[in-house]
Structure 1
Amino acid sequence: MSRPVDVVLNLAPVEPEQLAALLGLIRPGGVLVNTTVWMPAPTDEERDVRGIDLFVHSDAEQLSHLVELVDRGELRVEVARRVPLAELPALHADAAAGALPSGKVVVTPGD
């Protein structure tokens, strides 16, 4: 059996039962951080395990700066796959099945 961890960071959309099961991996007093917007992070009050929801607000100035870094070659992003927006449901299914490739997946507006 693996040892409990201090923090679990959930980045993928999962079923509520799967998210709740992550609490069992965390030591008493630890934290479950959830970045998905469709459900809140559960807590385990008996073991003092907190659930935290973390969402990002896009900032146009910061995004422009990142583009400049990419353009200058100072920031490299490994794009593993490009997916048209129409295929987004299949992409979510792949994510839920743990079948995404290593690297970033870019969703494009069309074919």
Structure 2
Amino acid sequence: HQSGIKVRVNAAPWIPGISNAEEIVKRTPDGVLVAFGPLELDNSHYDVLIGVNKTSAAKALGKQFTQNEINKAYVAERNRLKDLKNTCWYYPIIPDETGKIPIFKTFKAGEITL
């Protein structure tokens, strides 16, 4: 970055209750983009596409998250941090209007309601 090379911080996966977006951005040099993406439990997207989430992720202290819970927390965090500068937030792990899971599509605060 200091040498004029365009860089970004990949802050994925974002994990509910663990990832601290504000702190990550605070520790990143000015002008460096921080890209957030939600924890993805199953990259086949099969369960999400048919509306059934069978997998879950264990967290410290025994908390389990489903993909729907991760998505809801992720979107809520994006909306809460709507004014956080130098960030991009990748689409949650849900089908878009075409029925596909967007991989590199980003969204703005307030654009998605879960």
Q: TM range, normalised to the smaller chain?
A: 0.3 to 0.5
Q: Which has the higher helix share?
A: 1
Question: Rg larger in 1 or in 2?
Answer: 1
TM (norm. structure 1) is: 0.34
Q: Which has the higher strand share?
A: 1
TM (norm. structure 2) is: 0.33
Relative contact order higher in (CA < 8 Å, ≥ 6 apart): 2
